[in-house]
Structure 1
Amino acid sequence: MRWFAVSSGTEALALLARQDIALIIADQRMPEMTGAELLERAIEINPNAIRMILTGYTDTAALVQAINQGHIYQYINKPWDRRELKLTVKLALERYELVMENQRLLKELQAANERLKDENLLLKKETDKEFGFTNTVVRQSPAMRHVFNRLDKVIDNSATVLLTGETGTGKTLLAHHIHSRGPRKDKLFIEQNCGTLPETLLESELFGHKRGAFTGAVQDRKGLFEAVDGGTLLLDEISEMSPTLQVKLLQVLQDGSFRRVGESQYRQVDVRVIAATNRDLSTEIENGRFRSDLYYRLNVFPLHIPPLRERIEDIPPLAEHCLRKYRHKLNRQATGFTEEALRDLLRYDYPGNVRELENLIERALILSSGDLIEAGEWLPQPPSDTNEISRLEQLERVQIERSLTINNGNLKLTAKELGISRTTLWRRLKDYQK
């Protein structure tokens, strides 16, 4: 421990400016300025230093005021007791160490919070990549552009959305898209498949339960509606929900209230509900399996996701996305597809839609060994049906539009690349506008 002695307030301030000081002991009567004035000015240079003052005056009103204002930690009357002074200094230095330790811990906590923010941001970006939440969400086909044009109208509010479409078309993806770009993006998003749990367990999962409500309920438990309060809840396969639970869900949609299993007390939540199904709910209503009043509550903003066979323009970019996603995971070098493989991809019907396409690309990578994925057994043979001519026309349109994009709309270069005349190309484009 080092001690410094100076003979005036000016010298003390100069020392403080160049030396890190833990404790300042000043006499009240000094040349140029009083001890109280020195300690007040010392705060601007070193606010962490413990400030003590020695005084021989019985009138200490000014010093008490300085203490109350935080300028002085403590004053010591002259003459002082040596043992008491040593104890006071020891306690003051311990206080200084405690203050500095708290500041160090606070800085570490702030740094940890910043790292956590960065990690959460990175995690969000990785999650976005995993689910396809990038600035290049595949929407090249007219069908998907129409979907996203409608989607933009509902993102900024809390309206209930009903997503319909075949299995694997990307309903969960779009639900994530709605949440991550809406006003609730900083809150929780939780997905619950209504077809994976029996009625009693699903009721407890959604609404929670009270201790003793049923065998195994050993403590009170929040349901998903409480857990996601302020956020978004995706109810997938909503058509599988039992009539009893449909009634409880209807009440939440109407006024935000519900009861835990085994409770009489109503609870209030603010949750945006997105429902999804691959069934025709109108048919389910006709067959008595789904409540019409719940359907009308869910159907505030219906959004149908077209199957992949109706948006084949999206197949090439989706295939490339899946290729990038799995090539590193599977340690494969393939960076693209041969023309024959791409043609086969475009001709296939995809009963499992985007999910099936993803599985096919993963399988193709496992079987691949070169820089390009070639046509082969990894892709089932496309069915030969009466719609083959129509599909060939769709494939031709996809190829023409891709070539136009690559050539920045240059008709001459596009026609040359496709091996057709500019007149033929012009006629095809004219037909596409009808």
Structure 2
Amino acid sequence: MTGNRPTVLCVDDEQRSLETLERTLDDDFEVLCATSAYDALELLEREQVSAVVCDQRMPGMNGVELLSQVRQRWPNIARLILSGYTDSEDIIRGLNEAGIYQYITKPWHPDHLILALKNSCRLAELETENESLSTEIRLTAAQAETRIQEKKAKLKQQFALSEIVRSSESPLNKACSQVQRIAPYDVSVLITGPSGTGKELFARALHYNSLRAEQPFIVENCGAMPDDLLASELFGHRKGAFTGAMGDHAGLFEQANGGTLFLDEIGDISSSFQVMLLRVLQEKEVRRVGDDKRRRVDVRVIAATNRDLEAEVAAGRFREDLYFRLAELTLTLPSLSQRKVDIPVLAEHFLKCSSENFSKPAEKFSEEALEALSAYHWPGNVRELQNEVRRMLVLADSPVLGAELMSPRLLRVLPDNNEPEPLLEALLSRQQGWSEGCTLKDKTEMLEKQLLRETMIRHRWNKSRAAEELGLSRVGLRAKLDRYGLEPKA
């Protein structure tokens, strides 16, 4: 095709007929001419053509035979035939075999021929566009499916038990072993443990190591959510069921059909909602808010709580039958203070991840920093440790992160103190007594040692600045550091 005009190839063994065709079509088309079917095929090898119009009766190869080959080799080219024999069997057969768009009887009218060619070229153009779009859609669908499969494979790898960060002697090994044993079996699991211990991480590990791994994993936090809103989220609602319900909404049970639904903070749901949830778990059916129709669902439920649900059951605040529905198997996660052996490993892992996310180079923690991290009791568990590492990295001006970057509360714990609570906070709040036989002199020295250590770390062991803050001379400060054996660590 040249410019905006389609190119038409005219084929006829009579030169006069070709000249007539060329004069007729020249105003609307770019015209190429061939005096035989063989010349036409050679020309089609070189030129881009929108349509072929040819005479039926030609020596060697007739029009139908030529257009049959054109259809096989260039299916997007429109094909028209000129013939004075409308009842010819070759013409009738050619309509099917050669896919002829139209045959035009001789003598043909110029306007009729031009209109037929324009329509055929436009049809061929639309067919090409349609084929291109269909191919694009197929490719897009295939690419989307490939991306979905890659994402699923990545998620399965990401939440593989081997990817759970821990040391070789970690107390978490027991929980990981339990997950490996129970994941393949379609039972409800209740995960318990303090906030920030990774309950959702283990719920995902259960899902992606189960037979439902290819299906959805849906999360809902049930804490402090009103019953009506929670019912709408979990069970769905019908259009007009309440103000703002502008359309039908499938709840999370329906969205998780075939997969896993993780209900976090399950211990916070009200007594009335416990009844609604129990019915769904028993009957495996959900009824959308404002709807009478019940829908079957096939969902594995994993619940989590930081409460002691057995104590809640005993106190009458949680239904016993719902508890046993949720806790066919129970998985208990230890707090970070119970797995201190994991703290250095976790800290290094969070440092590496945060360094990549922030595009800020960091190599390691100083020995003093790791010692202080390991000594702290981490009431916020893994989440608090992650936040502390991120904070240290943001404040750091060196690839090695020192203890002076840490929050003050972390520095108030003596490395050799076996008690889980910070010494200064315990003293000030009087929540913890001194050990039996501890004299006033012992208590004073312990407090002085801790104050010295915290101050030195904050000032990066600069004795002049530390002595000024403490109101001591450099000589007096040095004497106290020597007395308590305090010195910087790498």
The bucket for the TM-score relative to the shorter chain is: 0.7 to 0.9
Correspondence 1:385 to 2:418: yes
Q: Deviations over 1:43-81 (max 9, x none)?
A: 332121112222222324443444345732222222222
Contact 2:352-2:362 within 8 A present in 1 as well: no
- In the superposition, relative to structure 1, how do residues 37 and 303 fare at CA in structure 2: closer, same or farther (>3 Å)? farther
- In the superposition, relative to structure 1, how do residues 89 and 380 fare at CA in structure 2: closer, same or farther (>3 Å)? same
1:290, CA displacement in angstroms? 1.6
Contact 1:248-1:258 within 8 A present in 2 as well: no
- In the superposition, relative to structure 1, how do residues 65 and 244 fare at CA in structure 2: closer, same or farther (>3 Å)? farther
- In the superposition, relative to structure 1, how do residues 15 and 250 fare at CA in structure 2: closer, same or farther (>3 Å)? farther
- Looking at both structures, which has the greater relative contact order when contacts are Cα pairs under 8 Å and sequence separation is at least 6? 1
Q: Which runs of 5+ in 1 are unaligned?
A: 389-434
1:185-196 alignment, distance < 5 Å: 185-196=213-224
Separation in 2, partners of 1:289, 1:11: 93
Match of 2:165 in 1: 138
Which range moves more in the overlay, 219-228 or 362-371?
A: 219-228
Q: Which residue identity is paired with 1:52?
A: L
Match of 1:21 in 2: 49
Correspondence 1:226 to 2:254: yes
1:299, CA displacement in angstroms? 1.8
SS of the aligned residue for 2:276 comes to helix
Q: Which residue identity is paired with 2:377?
A: D
Q: Which of 67, 70, 78 is equivalent to 1:42?
A: 70
1:337, CA displacement in angstroms? 0.5
Q: Which of 287, 308, 313 is equivalent to 1:285?
A: 313
Q: Which of 270, 279, 284 is equivalent to 1:256?
A: 284
Separation in 2, partners of 1:315, 1:281: 28
Contact 2:192-2:305 within 8 A present in 1 as well: yes
Report how many aligned residue pairs link the two structures: 387
- In the superposition, relative to structure 1, how do residues 45 and 318 fare at CA in structure 2: closer, same or farther (>3 Å)? same
Contact 1:36-1:66 within 8 A present in 2 as well: yes
Separation in 1, partners of 2:97, 2:280: 55
Correspondence 1:346 to 2:379: no
Q: Which of 205, 225, 230 is equivalent to 1:202?
A: 230
Match of 2:108 in 1: 80
Separation in 2, partners of 1:204, 1:380: 47
Q: Deviations over 1:330-375 (max 9, x none)?
A: 5643321011211222222222211011011122223322111111
Contact 1:332-1:369 within 8 A present in 2 as well: no
1:236, CA displacement in angstroms? 0.2
Separation in 2, partners of 1:134, 1:105: 44
Correspondence 1:67 to 2:95: yes
Identity of aligned residues (%): 42
Contact 2:161-2:205 within 8 A present in 1 as well: no
Correspondence 1:299 to 2:339: no
1:24, CA displacement in angstroms? 1.8
Which range moves more in the overlay, 169-178 or 109-118?
A: 109-118
Q: Which runs of 5+ in 2 are unaligned?
A: 1-6, 8-29, 422-490
Contact 1:17-1:45 within 8 A present in 2 as well: no
Separation in 1, partners of 2:51, 2:170: 74
- In the superposition, relative to structure 1, how do residues 62 and 317 fare at CA in structure 2: closer, same or farther (>3 Å)? farther
Contact 1:160-1:274 within 8 A present in 2 as well: yes
SS of the aligned residue for 2:385 comes to helix
Contact 1:333-1:369 within 8 A present in 2 as well: no
Correspondence 1:98 to 2:126: yes
Separation in 1, partners of 2:178, 2:359: 39
Q: Which residue identity is paired with 1:385?
A: N
Separation in 1, partners of 2:386, 2:115: 74
1:90, CA displacement in angstroms? 0.4
Q: Which residue identity is paired with 1:30?
A: M
Q: Deviations over 1:373-405 (max 9, x none)?
A: 1113423433733689xxxxxxxxxxxxxxxxx
Contact 1:16-1:45 within 8 A present in 2 as well: no
1:212, CA displacement in angstroms? 4.3
SS of the aligned residue for 1:234 comes to strand
Separation in 2, partners of 1:386, 1:276: 29
- In the superposition, relative to structure 1, how do residues 108 and 338 fare at CA in structure 2: closer, same or farther (>3 Å)? same
Q: Which of 270, 288, 300 is equivalent to 2:298?
A: 270
Separation in 2, partners of 1:231, 1:63: 60
Contact 2:156-2:209 within 8 A present in 1 as well: no
Match of 1:369 in 2: 397
Separation in 2, partners of 1:37, 1:273: 68
TM-score, normalised to structure 1, is: 0.78
Which range moves more in the overlay, 366-375 or 227-236?
A: 227-236
Separation in 1, partners of 2:111, 2:58: 25
Q: Which residue identity is paired with 1:350?
A: W
- In the superposition, relative to structure 1, how do residues 102 and 283 fare at CA in structure 2: closer, same or farther (>3 Å)? same
Contact 2:224-2:269 within 8 A present in 1 as well: no
SS of the aligned residue for 1:303 comes to strand
Which range moves more in the overlay, 85-94 or 11-20?
A: 11-20
Correspondence 1:320 to 2:353: no
SS of the aligned residue for 1:263 comes to coil
Match of 1:163 in 2: 191
SS of the aligned residue for 2:249 comes to coil
Q: Which residue identity is paired with 1:43?
A: R
Match of 1:428 in 2: none
Separation in 2, partners of 1:318, 1:132: 16
- In the superposition, relative to structure 1, how do residues 18 and 150 fare at CA in structure 2: closer, same or farther (>3 Å)? farther
SS of the aligned residue for 2:163 comes to coil
Separation in 2, partners of 1:68, 1:154: 63
Q: Which residue identity is paired with 1:13?
A: L
Q: Which residue identity is paired with 2:412?
A: Q
Correspondence 1:89 to 2:122: no
Contact 1:189-1:228 within 8 A present in 2 as well: yes
- In the superposition, relative to structure 1, how do residues 350 and 126 fare at CA in structure 2: closer, same or farther (>3 Å)? farther
